[in-house]
């Protein structure tokens, strides 16, 4: 492989904003794009040689053979592209299906690539036969539009060019509507900006919500000692309609002094596993199910995920962006943010039905 821009490349990043900024808020103006919920991917193609790098520059190529073939069919012979790998399922982005692709068995990867093919959504051009990274975004976008033909709806694995708008009001409409197709928010880019590796030069606007959850356990922090125990994260639950307390995620990111105080504050609630709703999850069957806070995963390897069970009586308000999964199997997509204790709430009232229902939106109207 010999390209004007060679791997590895660290993708350009974004800093968070509370709301969509006006298009004329910076010199040269802003352009807006949907924020895709997938795996960031830098794609390098030199003829039949295709490499896909992750946000951290780790190789993704072997996990997405159908995307490699789509790149060969749709992208220029020599190019470097910034984009996102997504998996559409039933008209909605499915992050769970995407994460299943990171698997050591090639046979399983191949099977999943046929059962639920991934696609590549492209949104920036780093190189063709020459380096484009120092060119303004408007020029890079124009070159992208000239080189990528429209995708075919229902064609399986494909390459899609993300939509853009120069109208902040339309971006606001996208922000609310596109969430129903599984998208993550809006990204704003400087029209005159160059491509800056690992630089937070873009802006991202994501959904922000709160929920009241049961604090059903905690894990100790990696710096915790027997002489000074420190809370690392709280394990959160919501009650399903059948009365089960379902594990929905964690909240973390406390100052060290607060971590120590929380261990002391929660000590009276510590119970034996036999007296805890998740006590039965110590079995091998439960470990294999992946729906418990002490289970291993392909992401954590042999990391110790044991936790201290708490009587499920304490309620906390947490902030979150969105859920992944559907119905009463949904969980927080990212680590939640602790807001405050809700001692006025009965823990059994913390149910899934408090969560906001997002109106469905047809993904085909977003993918082009």
Told to judge if 189 belongs to the known catalytic residues of this protein, a careful annotator would answer: no
| Active-site entry in 19, 35, 58, 72 | 35
Q: Do residues 143 and 128 touch, judged by C-beta distance below 8 A?
A: yes
Q: What positions carry a catalytic annotation?
A: 35
């Amino acid at each position: 492989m010999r390209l004007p821009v060679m791997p590895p490349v660290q993708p350009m990043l974004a800093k968070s904003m509370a709301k969509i900024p006006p298009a004329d808020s910076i010199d040269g103006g802003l352009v807006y794009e949907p924020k895709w919920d997938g795996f960031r991917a830098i794609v390098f193609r030199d003829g039949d040689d295709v490499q896909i790098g992750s946000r951290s520059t780790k190789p993704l190529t072997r996990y997405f053979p159908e995307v490699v073939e789509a790149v060969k069919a749709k992208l220029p012979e020599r190019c470097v592209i910034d984009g996102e790998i997504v998996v559409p399922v039933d008209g909605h982005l499915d992050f769970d299906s995407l994460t299943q692709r990171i698997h050591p068995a090639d046979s399983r990867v191949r099977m999943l690539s046929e059962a639920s093919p991934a696609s590549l959504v492209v949104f920036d051009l780093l190189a063709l036969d020459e380096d484009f990274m120092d060119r303004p975004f408007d020029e890079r976008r124009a070159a992208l539009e000239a080189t990528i033909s429209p995708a075919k709806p229902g064609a399986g694995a494909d390459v899609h060019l993300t939509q853009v708008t120069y109208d902040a009001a339309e971006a606001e409409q996208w922000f609310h509507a596109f969430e129903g197709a599984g998208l993550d928010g809006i990204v704003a880019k400087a029209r005159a900006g160059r491509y800056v590796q690992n630089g937070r030069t873009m802006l991202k606007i994501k959904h922000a919500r709160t929920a009241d959850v049961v604090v059903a356990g905690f894990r100790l922090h990696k710096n915790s000692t027997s002489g000074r125990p420190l809370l690392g994260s709280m394990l959160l639950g919501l009650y399903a309609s059948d009365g089960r307390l379902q594990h929905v995620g964690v909240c973390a990111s406390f100052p060290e002094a607060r971590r120590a105080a929380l261990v002391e504050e929660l000590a009276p609630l510590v119970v034996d596993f036999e007296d805890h709703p998740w006590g039965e999850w110590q079995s091998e069957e439960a470990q294999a199910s992946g729906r418990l806070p002490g289970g291993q995963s392909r992401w954590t390897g042999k990391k110790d995920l044991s936790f201290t069970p708490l009587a499920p009586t304490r309620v906390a308000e947490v902030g979150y962006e969105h859920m992944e999964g559907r119905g009463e199997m949904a969980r927080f997509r990212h680590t939640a943010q602790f807001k405050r204790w809700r001692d006025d709430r009965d823990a059994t009232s913390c149910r899934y039905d408090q969560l906001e229902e997002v109106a469905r939106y047809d993904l085909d109207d977003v993918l082009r």
